[in-house]
Amino acid sequence: MNQKMLTTTGLLIAIILFLAINIVSDVAFKSARLDLTENQLYTLSEGSKNILKALEEPITLRFFLSQKVATRLPGISSYTVRVRELLEEYQRTAGDKLKLKLIDPEPFSEEEDQAEGYGLQGIPVDDSNTTFYFGLAGTNSTDDEEVIPFFSPNRTEFLEYDLTKLIHQLDKPKQKVVGIMSTLPVQGNTASPFQQNAAKPWMIVDHIRQLFEVRTVETNVEKIPDNIDMLMLIHPKDFSEATLYALDQFVLNGGRVIVFADPYSEVYEPPSDPKNPFAAMQAPRNSELSKLFDAWGLEIVPNKVVGDLRVAQKVQVRKGSRAVVVNYPVWIDLDNEQYFNTEDIVSAKLDNIVFATAGAIVEKGDVETEIIPLIQTGSKAMQIETSKLGFFGDPEDLVRNFKPEGQFTLAARVTGKVKTAFPEGKPTAEETDQKTEHLTESAEPINIIIVADTDLLEDKFWVRVQNFIGQRIALPHAANATFVSNALDNLSGSNDLISVRNRGNFAKPFTKVEDIQREAEQQYRAKEKQLQTRLQETDQKIRELQSQKKDGNEFMLNVEQQQEIARFREEKIHIRKELRDVQHELHKNIASLETQMKFINIGLMPLLIGIGGITLGILSRRRRKGLQPVKG
């Protein structure tokens, strides 16, 4: 009796303790989170945390989600949960500065009108005019708006970056200023606006103007203006020491730069010499920024361009009296994600990029910078001497003498702390402005992007331009402009925003199932093709027999021919049944395998733990029964 009471009392105490611990932990550890996902999908990066904790004004996020519709979309339902939970994590981290509103825009409701008013993208899901909303609208205290029209699963790995960027833009709403410093005529010929043949700005500049405020920075400046947030430096050449010093100090002071430098700029037009008409042909076409590159720990290999025969563009050349189409290895169209750094927001989602006589970026010297490739060639590219290009170059000769050497970097991100390229100070005899302190090293890690090509900016390599009622219409055939705007957009953020990188894919597919599915599908396709061939042969035989009828009278076929047709028709029905059986077996095997894999991944482990617990309990009970007290 006493033993039974002790057991009952123990159970009651255990239940009370269990409930008490749950209540206390719910209160004490309400904000505690343990993220066991492979890529820490539910843990904010330090950059996001810093931005959220430093918000200067209140921000309201309105998360529009059609809840009922989402439950009917299994492919996206789990992603909506992930977005909501991540937004809630943002709110917890930011505290009172960030307000989150969850809104379900029912059809024909005020909430749906509100979603449309913010410009969110509704997706029709069926014929009943049902629309699925899955977007975000953010506002600040001055009524600035930023939206994500629709959370595309294609950008799941950049979800945190997109959310942090939206919040950062609301916290710092001032439009960023891009300074363009170029020795190439990218902004056209503004000196003669009334001339009919005046050069128009390159389309890349029009593209940038849609996103940023653009200002011209002269190539002879001795100080980069303070109102420049990012500098777009194109084909630096013949710069004075004072201008190089201005660039050096701008970067050390936290200025963001994207450099387009080239070992052989095709678009560059050297100054003409009336006394020597061949001087322009022989003039060097390379950019020159080696003094700063040395300080940043990199080099663009001089006098060599990169060629890749696998992605070479075709060009038309004259061979005698006829035109011949040949591959031109130094004009390359990179059209596959293998060429792009999919971990970096700047290059991850590009379709294709066209480069022309681009150079190779390599590390140089003992400098504590990290050079992260953004765009690379394939593994069988080659460096080609610039002397083999130009007026006397022969594309066919380049192809004949092409010898693969390896992979080369065409665009890269450079980060890290650097020292000045001018340890002696400002290189001028003039009095240094007392208000301007000479910086000997960067206070924070620099963030710059280097592109070893200038020609990719020229219209002919990425866009066709049509004139429509006086307006220039751009028809891009390559993502060169997207790459440039991605880079500027990324550099326009703070160091914290730039540090928010790819967080990995949320969806974890059953790769084993997919492999087996592909293998089974290949087998099915082979069997299907075989059966389809038999089916066509049977139909042909039936048509041949039917064509033997006289005067179109089917009764003129003899008995043997009619039996043959009947047999072929039965065979046709049998073949169709085989086709259905093969397809049914394919789906059945895949479904069975998916069930097994889900059971192993989801159900087996808890089951094994449960069995282990029961087994231990039984063994423990038997052990207690075997221990009898020794009577003295």
- pLDDT tens digits along 536-570: 777 777 777 667 655 545 445 567 767 777 777 77
Which residues are bridge partners to 233 per DSSP?
Answer: 181, 259
pLDDT (mean) for 92-106: 94
Q: Which of 483-497, 561-575, 577-591 has the lowest mean pLDDT?
A: 577-591
Which pLDDT does position 499 carry in this prediction? 76
Q: Is the dihedral of CA 283, 289, 291, 293 positive or negative?
A: negative
409 close to 298: Cβ distance less than 8 angstroms: no
- pLDDT tens digits along 135-168: 999 999 999 999 999 999 888 888 998 999 999 9
441 close to 253: Cβ distance less than 8 angstroms: no
d(C-alpha 146, C-alpha 167), whole Å: 8
538 close to 570: Cβ distance less than 8 angstroms: no
Model confidence at 83: pLDDT above 70? yes
Taking the CA atoms of residue 519, residue 520, residue 525 and residue 531 in that order, the dihedral angle to the nearest 10 degrees is: 140
* Predicted confidence band of residue 632 (pLDDT cuts 50, 70, 90): very low
- pLDDT tens digits along 525-541: 666 677 677 777 777 77
Strand 409-416 versus strand 446-451 pairing type: antiparallel
Q: Which residues fall within 8 angstroms of residue 340, CB to CB, at 6 or more apart?
A: 334, 347, 348, 350, 353, 374, 375
d(C-alpha 535, C-alpha 578), whole Å: 11
- pLDDT tens digits along 311-335: 999 988 877 777 888 899 999 999 9
Model confidence at 506: pLDDT above 50? no
